[in-house]
Structures are given as C-alpha cells and as structure tokens.
Structure 1
Amino acid sequence: MSTNTLAPVLTPERLATAYSYSSYRQLIDELQAQGKTTGLQQSAALTHYTHLNVQRMQRLDKTTQVVPELREAVQNLQQSYMWLVLTEGWCGDAAQIVPVLEAIAQASNGRFTTRYFLRDENLDLMDRYLTNGSRSIPKLVVLRVDTLQEVAQWGPRPAEAQALFLSLKSSGATHEEYAEKVHAWYARNKTQATQQELLTLVRDLA
C-alpha cells in the first residue's frame, strides 16, 4: 500500500537507535539465555514462544531463497530505500517473516537497507500502523533514504495467512489453536506468498 506522506516518519537521530538484523537477533539470543524475551511483558509462555521463534528464524536464515523475479525487481530499482520493521522476539509471525525481509534486502545489492524497532518500546510509531485497530506485527514501512518519508507499507501477514487468522479467531479458536494452524500454513507455503506480495510492493516503487 503506497502513500504520499510528506512528513518524515522519524528523525535521523531516532533511526540511529534502531537495530540491525544481527543486533536484533543477538538481543533475542541474549535475553533468551536469561529466560527473558523482548517487550514490556515477561512470562514463561512468551519465553517459550521466543525459543520456538529462534529455531524458526535460524531455519529460515538458512533456507530462504529469494525468487528470481523478486531478486531482479529489487536489483533494478533506481532509488534506494530503508525498510523499517516493527517486531518483537516473541511474535511468531515476525519469526516467519523478518528473515524473509532480511533475505530480500540482502539480495538487493544495497537498494534496501533494514532497520528493526521493537514494538513495545516504540508505541507512538506502532500506533501509526495499526491493523484493524490492533498493534499487529511484524509491520514493514518503506522509507525514502534521503527524506525518511513513507512510500509504502506491508504487514502483518500475507493476505491468505491474515484471512486464516481472522477466520480462526472469529470461530473462537484459542491462541494455541490458531497459532498451530497459522504456522502450519507458513510451513506449507515456504515464504512464497510473502515474497509475491513484496514483489508487488517493489514493482510499485519502480
């Protein structure tokens, strides 16, 4: 979804406080070693989810292959962009998507650089990108590098996964039930829906 927002989304000084992908992953690992996770809330359940998410991210870091048409599209862009990502270590959807975003950026020959912000430490920023009134993550905001103006946004899930999630929630499924089914969808889809939707986004930037 493209926009023509004139004001910068954030200041260069604030952008400088964001995490790189490696520092984001390192933070999650360090907190996990302490029995903690990112975010303001701490619980055994969230720590357990984080443990699972680390495994998911490790697997996706090794297996994600950017599809040729997306690789070509990002490398052919005439301008460079910042991918600002709102995320948390305990979020299962983030674990399924953030490594894919990073893989695409790495394939772009410098057209995209990524910066990661923790949702709960940046609620003013998160509240600009609500999904049906919810602080759903991950959320990708694409910025012009020179002006930090927003040119596109995406998330928190591919449309098919989002429809499945909403259907399960409306039917009264518990968190465990809908998480199991949504993660099974991600496993079957093998990042293809995420990549195809991002291909559309990238082509709209051209």
Structure 2
Amino acid sequence: MKNLIIKESLLEAYNYKGYSELIKQLVADEKSTGPEQTEQHIEFTKLNASRMRRLDKTIKIPRDAISDFQSIKEKQTWLVILESWCADGAQTIPILNKICETNSNLNLKVVLRDDHPELMNLFLTNGTRSIPKLIILDNHSNVLNTWGPRSEMATKMVEAYKNQNGGIDASFKSFLQIWYNQDKGEAIIDDLVKLTRQSYFLEDN
C-alpha cells in the first residue's frame, strides 16, 4: 500500500523546472498552492519565489560533497513534499536541486502536501505534517531514507527556542531566515552527505 501511494504521487509530481514555473505563475496570479488562499500564504509565495531565484544563482555545492553525491551509483528519486508558502521549503528546494544536478542518477521531484494527504501521512514528523519532507527512493519506489523538515542544526535551534519560549513566533521566524541566508545551504548539504555516507556504510556491511 505504501509503495502504491508513493507511485501514484510520483505520477503527479513536478520536476524542479516545473515547480519553479508553477511558483512564477502563482505570483503572477496572486495565488498560493493549497486550499487556504490567505493573504499571508500569497505574500509568502511571492517572497519564496525571490528566495528561490537568489539561491538558484548563488548556491555552490562544495567539491568534496559533490564526490559523495557522485558515489551514488544506483538510480534514486528524491521526492519532496512541499507547498509554495513554506519558507523552509524555499530555502531548501534549490539546494536539493543543485545536489541532484551533480549526479544523473538523482532525479528530483516535488509534490504538493495538501494534494497528497495520504503520502504526507506516511511521513509525519513527530506526528505533524511538517514540510519540506524529502523521501529518498530507489528505482522501485522503496524508501531508502527521509530528511526534513529542517537540517539537524536548524532543528536544534527551533527546539531550543520552543523550550525557552513555548513556541515559535514571528521574531524567531525572521531570525531563522537570516540564519539560512548566512549558512548558504551548508547545514543541509552536510546532513545529506551524512545520509549518503551512512547508506553506503550500511550497504557495505
């Protein structure tokens, strides 16, 4: 059943170019993805379009990380659950695209969370429908690994702030976006390098 849900979701998935074009059209139409066409979601979609354009131009994958990603010899699909208004997603998806561009065995796909509730429910984070969520699949749509919604480093910052303040507020969200800009994708790349090395360690044993 799990594989069937994944395979059906892949039939409706965007590649990165298609997802970028969707975001561009949503901005032109002053809309967002998902059923909640709120002013906040629409404004975040506009902001995220700008973030993605900037990251597309500026993100560089370090040479040693490229070597790790190029060590993947079997075909994989990197399926990302996302929505246009998701700020963490906009900071993440261009980096995942750059990683997948380093190896022709990696195929990046994007599906919208609210269009695929069954898929999302298979990959909850602490019982929540948190995005972005990366699902790494083999050539038969078997799950090899998952990642998200944030890097290990960002997750620790979020949890520390929640413990101290009881939740995340607008001030912390602004701080987190500044941190993303300063980090330049390094924390996300490091996490995925670790996953890649971990996978090959398991295979070799």
Structure 2 length as normaliser, TM-score?
0.91
**In the superposition, relative to structure 1, how do residues 48 and 55 fare at CA in structure 2: closer, same or farther (>3 Å)?**
same
Equivalent-residue separation in structure 1 for 2:146 and 2:59 (angstroms): 22
CA contact (8 A) 1:9 1:150 kept: no
Report which structure shows greater RCO (CA 8 Å, sep ≥6): 1
Q: Is 1:84 aligned to 2:79, yes or no?
A: yes
Question: Residue 16 of structure 1 corresponds to which residue in structure 2?
Answer: 11
Q: Is 1:154 aligned to 2:144, yes or no?
A: no
* Percent identity (aligned): 34
Count of residue pairs the alignment pairs up: 199
Stretches of structure 1 lacking an aligned partner (at least 5 in a row): 1-5
**In the superposition, relative to structure 1, how do residues 57 and 176 fare at CA in structure 2: closer, same or farther (>3 Å)?**
same
CA contact (8 A) 1:80 1:112 kept: yes
Question: Residue 20 of structure 2 corresponds to which residue in structure 1?
Answer: 25
CA-atom RMSD in angstroms:
1.7
The Cα of 1:194 is off from its aligned counterpart by: 0.5
The Cα of 1:68 is off from its aligned counterpart by: 1.2
CA contact (8 A) 2:9 2:116 kept: no
The Cα of 1:13 is off from its aligned counterpart by: 4.7
Moved over 6 A (4+): none
Equivalent-residue separation in structure 2 for 1:140 and 1:85 (angstroms): 4
- Any residues of structure 2 matched to 1:67-106 within 5 Å, and which? 67-106=62-101
Structure 1 length as normaliser, TM-score?
0.90
Q: Is 1:35 aligned to 2:35, yes or no?
A: no
Equivalent-residue separation in structure 2 for 1:125 and 1:13 (angstroms): 9
Q: When you count helix as a share of all residues, which structure comes out higher?
A: 2
The Cα of 1:28 is off from its aligned counterpart by: 1.4
Stretches of structure 2 lacking an aligned partner (at least 5 in a row): 201-205
